[in-house]
Structure 1
Amino acid sequence: MFRESPRTPTRQGVLAAAGKIAAILPPTPLLPVEIGGVRVHVKCDSLQPIGAFKIRGAWHRLTDLTDAERAAGVIAVSSGNHAQGVAWAARALGIEAAIVMPVDAPRVKIAATRALGAEVILYDRPGGEDRDAIANALCDERGRVLVHAYADPWVIEGQGSMGIEIAAQLGRAPSRIVVCCGGGGLAAGLALACPDSAVHPVEPAGWDDLARSLELGRIVRVGPDAPPTICDAIQTPSTAPVNFAVLHGRAEPGIAVTDDEVRAAQRFAFAQLRLVAEPGGAAALAAALAGKVPLDEGTVITLTGGNTDPEAFAATLSAGE
């Protein structure tokens, strides 16, 4: 159950968020790479201080809190990257933060969130517990503001700051952006930031609820028989009305990628870009490498996170030898 905000995300809000981000963080690299004989670019937001793009939305949201809201603190829901973004921003701003995280989240993400000073509240994702219900109850109990991982207009605008950076680095709007997608916060933000660019959301196979929602014209949830996925960062049960409102009729048809395709993308990023990519952060690259999205020289592919357990990453690299 999502808590609706009366506020609507806008491109003006994206521009404001981009200004805030530029004031505290340098732009992440936009690196050229050849895929299938086409020179494209990869936006490496895995190199943010928390290892993921989520720092953008968290900073925009927390810096817009009122004094009373800052004093009360925030609650967030996340499998780990948004958790670290909120924890990082909260520590910098002197705000108390509690994060509802799945018990099966990568250990490196749970440890990093705690190291940044946030309280971690674990829930049983495999057992079917509802993280949004838990977070909403905590907000009511503690009188705190909910900072949702994607169902929040400020978070959407903050993530869209990536698009403003991309256009500045390219010197023009990209023809298309291939984007890793869970609930649709980044995809919606990029759609607002780059109104003339095609936006291609990429989700894990079996967890492609946004693709089906866009196709059907209404929000649908992931089925109860959804398969396991290594893409924990973008393993979300459904998009939210605020994201759907931006993307419906605007985004390109959604794309689903398999775990094997994602692992191949992780190996490609390591070999060709010298970068560590977590599974969810490599989904867009996986779609491009698998030939599931058209590519041209104006294409930008998002690499959104690099927070992966070392053992899992080593096993992925070894499997390609």
Structure 2
Amino acid sequence: MASLLCAAPLHAQDAAQSTEPAASEPAPPDGFFIWTDTSVSLLPYGYGFEVDPREQSTLTIEHAHASKIGDFFGFVDFTKFHGAPSGSDTETFYGELGPRFSVNKIFDKQISFHLFSWSAFEVKDVLLATQYERGEDPDVTEAALVGIGFDLDLRENGFLGGLGKFNYVQLNFYGRAEMTEGTRDGFRDMQVTMVASYPFKVGRADWLLDGYFDWVVGFGSEEWSYHLNPQLTVDLGALVWEVPKKFYAGVEIDLWWNKYQIPDSAAFNTNQQAVSLLFKYHF
């Protein structure tokens, strides 16, 4: 299931891009939270998974918020396996918690720079990025990550041209410490994570392409792994019931090379190409 780091609700993005004079803009919130978003997703059927049974169903609870010190994204997947061998587990869960702490907000700075003159992205904030991962069995799946994160904007003079429609683009570089049984203690590996969200319109329908990739580099004792997880959804609430940005429907693609950092081989395929139906409701 995709995990989208700190995915601001679209109405928050729209407000930030308002062209009204400053005098008519609403005052900043007085509380700790700038915005919050909680959603539940149902993937009623998916096919093509490796290592685990090929057919699965998943229920996901996600929460994201931005605050006066940074942002947060967390989720829990509850997965049911179809056709699991007799005597094996038929259900499991997995979750991640990812707080990030903003230099802009904590130190009241405004960071804006690009690394190269031809760079497509401009850095808008620098953050201390942390993450905790945990599966049902911590001896099999548990990790802690600490590193640096960047909030990015596409630049008009970048090689991609004037693509200014992204809701967000985030890039995190982590030191990764495996906490599973049999692995050495300490931050012995590196992970690169990028998340992005791109809205577009086709006719009357509002569409959203979003997702992430996780690249575990493989410096430590574990194998490298690359996980690409995009979602393509249509705002069905707006299209059918005229209630926008509440109910989405579409598909999720789950591409994973060396799944669970298990090396792929002729004897055991760990390169995954799976697709699932997806329904998501934002509270």
TM-score, reference length from structure 2 = 0.28
Larger Rg computed on CA atoms: 2
TM-score, reference length from structure 1 = 0.26
**Which one has the bigger helix percentage?**
1
